């Protein structure tokens, strides 16, 4: 499985990365691989606030529709509009063009509680 070593992860297969003062979120390579071809993405409204672990988006593949959970509490600053026309960006570039949302963290300390790449790899390969 491909990993982004600059990102932190949740057991539920989301990654989060610092992007200047903001944070950016997506789903891991392992997650997109398990889901298969993604056909639809439902993203939240900009300005909406979520607590850590809240479902903020839905990713639908030919196999299943899955909730995506925000790894840290925060307010949505931007969503990836490109996914509407090209949801397969998540399959092709899970850590780059396939990002889901950018958010402002309301509790940046939550970052420290997330898994680093190697800890996530160990969790994901248990499945």
Partner 1 sequence: MNLTPEPLVYGLSSPGRVGVVLPESDVPVAPVPAWLERDSLPLPELDELTTVRHFTRLSQKNFSIDTNFYPLGSCTMKYNPKANEAAAAHPSWRNLHPYAGESMSQGALELVFRLQEILAEIGGFKAVSLQPAAGAHGELAGVFMIRKYHLERGDTRRVKILIPDSAHGTNPASCTMAGLEAVTIPSNAEGGVDLEALKAALGPELAGIMITNPNTLGLFERNIEEICRLVHESGGLVYGDGANMNAVTGVFRPGDAGIDVMHFNLHKTFSTPHGGGGPGVGMVAANATLAEFLPGPLVVKKGDVFALETPPKSIGRMKAFYGNFAVLVRAYAYVRMLGAEGLRRLAENAVLNANYLKVLVEKRWKVKYGRRCMHEFVASGDIAEGVHTLDVAKRLIDYGFHPPTIYFPLIVPEAVMIEPTETESKETLDAFAAVLDRIADEARDNPALLHDAPTTTPIGRLDEVAAARCPVLCYRA
DSSP string, 66-125: EEEE-SS-EEEEEE-THHHH-TTHHHH-TTTTT--EEEEES-GGGGGGSB-HHHHHHHHH
| Of residues 97 and 108, the one with the C-beta less far from partner 1 | 97
- Considering only 34, 104, 117, 123, the residue that binds partner 1 (CB under 8 A) is 34
Residue 65 structure tokens: 């529709």
* Euclidean distance between CA atoms 106 and 117, whole angstroms: 23
| Of residues 88 and 104, the one with the C-beta less far from partner 1 | 88
| Of residues 55 and 78, the one with the C-beta less far from partner 1 | 55
Least distance (Å) between residue 17 CB and partner 1: 26
Least distance (Å) between residue 6 CB and partner 1: 28
CA-based angle 48:49:55, to the nearest 5? 95
| Of residues 87 and 98, the one with the C-beta less far from partner 1 | 87
Q: Is residue 63 involved in binding partner 1 (CB under 8 A)?
A: yes
DSSP string, 24-40: EEEE-HHHHHHH-SEEE
Q: Is residue 22 involved in binding partner 1 (CB under 8 A)?
A: no
List of residues contacting partner 1 (CB under 8 A): 34, 37, 39-40, 60, 62-66, 87-88, 127
């Amino acid at each position: 499985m491909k990993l982004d070593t600059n990102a932190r992860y949740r057991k539920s297969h989301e990654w989060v990365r610092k992007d200047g003062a903001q944070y950016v979120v997506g789903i891991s390579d392992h997650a997109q691989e398990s889901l298969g071809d993604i056909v639809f993405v439902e993203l939240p409204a900009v300005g909406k606030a979520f607590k850590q672990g809240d479902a903020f988006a839905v990713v639908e593949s030919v196999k299943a529709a899955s909730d995506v959970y925000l790894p840290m509490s925060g307010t949505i600053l931007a969503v990836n509009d490109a996914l509407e026309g090209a949801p397969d960006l998540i399959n092709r570039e899970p850590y780059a063009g396939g990002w889901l949302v950018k958010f402002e963290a309301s509790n940046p300390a939550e970052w420290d509680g997330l898994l680093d790449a190697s800890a996530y790899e160990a969790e994901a390969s248990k499945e």
